[in-house]
């Protein structure tokens, strides 16, 4: 098995626009079944994002952009004023689906502008949005590869690597480069309740890559560290602030505390770094999902009748607990990430 067998490495392997429909690999059913869900309007795309059919900050953002293309097709025959009004409404709905993600809002806003300009010029707004979204997806794969390449140099031969949730393609590229460098590692995947992304998505992809992988429950991480089985803690993140905080799947913060206590480096796969004007942790909105979701596991109720649930989907880890943030530009201390990306934020602020 090799890199191409790890099917989740590229967003294009799990998401595409085809015949005026958005097709998503249902990650809730993977790896037992590879089921594709078809969406023919933007509301179906929004619901699929909210229902966790597709997951991961980048994948969610691209799916929302394709949803905007569906809306553009639906309203393309309207007057320009009405088209613009309807498309703003569709964009607002799509942006509201997963508020913590770094890429969703700026990418949908970018595609909204592209669609409006195309309609005003008399060209096809659907084609414009789809073309530009697919172009960004291709660029995303290249920056993902670079992020994984840089991260691989932080991994030593014999390392045990703990992951949480699904860190995306950068983890798989990292592991593939590690193999090419002749280093042998073992990956431990936290199951990641309540959707079990670690047990289903990460573990399955790492296994297809041919790297030894072990699934552990969410409450085992500290014990594994105390046993000496973990040498690196590696996750992705859904948002990076200019002052070095990261937002990721809830549970990341407590693992980071444990890793810090055991002097285990926490490596964040930051892909292409901060994307919006998120200056501090206070600028991050933590998505709170339906409390009922934590009372069930894959459709089976695990909570006692009458009890309540609570489900903040993300938490925030401060820079003092992070060893390195790796992006397509290299490896950086979290305290210097603002300086590294100051050029990007200057451009965005001036727009």
Catalytic residues: 238
Q: How many CB atoms lie within 10 A of CB 295?
A: 17
Rounded Cα–Cα distance for residues 258 and 247 (Å): 17
Backbone Cα Rg of the chain: 20
Query: The tokens 């460098």 sit on which residue?
Result: 181
Given a contact cutoff of 8 angstroms between Cβ atoms, the answer to whether 62 and 133 are in contact is yes
DSSP string, 198-239: IIIIIHHHHHHHT--EEEE-TT-HHHHHHHT--SEEEEE-SE
Rounded Cα–Cα distance for residues 90 and 83 (Å): 11
Rounded Cα–Cα distance for residues 347 and 114 (Å): 18
Which backbone phi and psi does 141 adopt, to 5 degrees? -65, -40
- Hey, which bits of 133-220 come out as E strands? 160-163, 186-190, 213-216
Given a contact cutoff of 8 angstroms between Cβ atoms, the answer to whether 178 and 154 are in contact is no
Given a contact cutoff of 8 angstroms between Cβ atoms, the answer to whether 321 and 334 are in contact is no
Calculate the CA 239 to chain-centre distance: 9
């Amino acid at each position: 098995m090799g890199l191409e067998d790890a099917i989740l490495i590229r967003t294009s392997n799990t998401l595409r626009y085809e015949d005026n429909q958005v097709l998503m690999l249902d990650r809730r059913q993977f790896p037992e079944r590879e089921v594709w869900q078809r969406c023919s309007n933007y509301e179906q795309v929004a619901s699929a994002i909210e229902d966790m059919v597709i997951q991961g900050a980048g994948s969610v953002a691209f799916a929302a952009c394709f949803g905007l293309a569906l809306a553009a097709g639906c309203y393309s025959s309207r007057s320009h004023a009405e088209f613009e009004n309807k498309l703003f409404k569709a964009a607002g709905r799509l942006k509201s689906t997963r508020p913590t993600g770094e890429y969703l809002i700026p990418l949908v806003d970018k595609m909204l502008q592209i669609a409006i300009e195309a309609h005003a010029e008399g060209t096809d707004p659907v084609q414009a949005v789809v073309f530009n979204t697919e172009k960004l997806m291709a660029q995303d794969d290249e920056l993902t590869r670079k992020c994984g390449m840089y991260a691989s140099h932080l991994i030593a031969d014999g390392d045990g690597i703990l992951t949480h949730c699904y860190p995306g393609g950068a983890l798989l590229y990292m592991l593939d480069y590690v193999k090419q460098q002749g280093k042998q590692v073992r990956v431990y995947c936290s199951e990641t309740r309540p959707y079990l992304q670690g047990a289903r998505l990460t573990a399955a992809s790492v296994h297809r890559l041919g790297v030894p992988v072990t699934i552990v429950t969410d409450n085992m991480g500290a014990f594994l560290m105390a046993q000496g089985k973990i040498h690196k803690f590696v996750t992705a993140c859904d948002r990076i602030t200019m002052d070095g905080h990261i937002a990721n799947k809830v549970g990341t913060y407590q693992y980071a505390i444990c890793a810090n206590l055991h002097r285990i480096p926490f490596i964040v796969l930051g892909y292409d770094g901060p994307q919006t004007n998120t200056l501090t942790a206070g600028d991050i909105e933590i998505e709170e999902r339906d409390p009922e979701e934590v009372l069930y596991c894959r459709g089976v109720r695990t909570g006692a009748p009458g009890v309540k649930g609570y489900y903040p989907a993300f938490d925030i880890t401060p820079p003092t607990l992070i060893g390195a943030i790796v992006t397509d530009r290299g490896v950086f201390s979290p305290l210097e990430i603002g300086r590294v990306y100051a050029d990007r934020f200057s451009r965005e602020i001036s727009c």
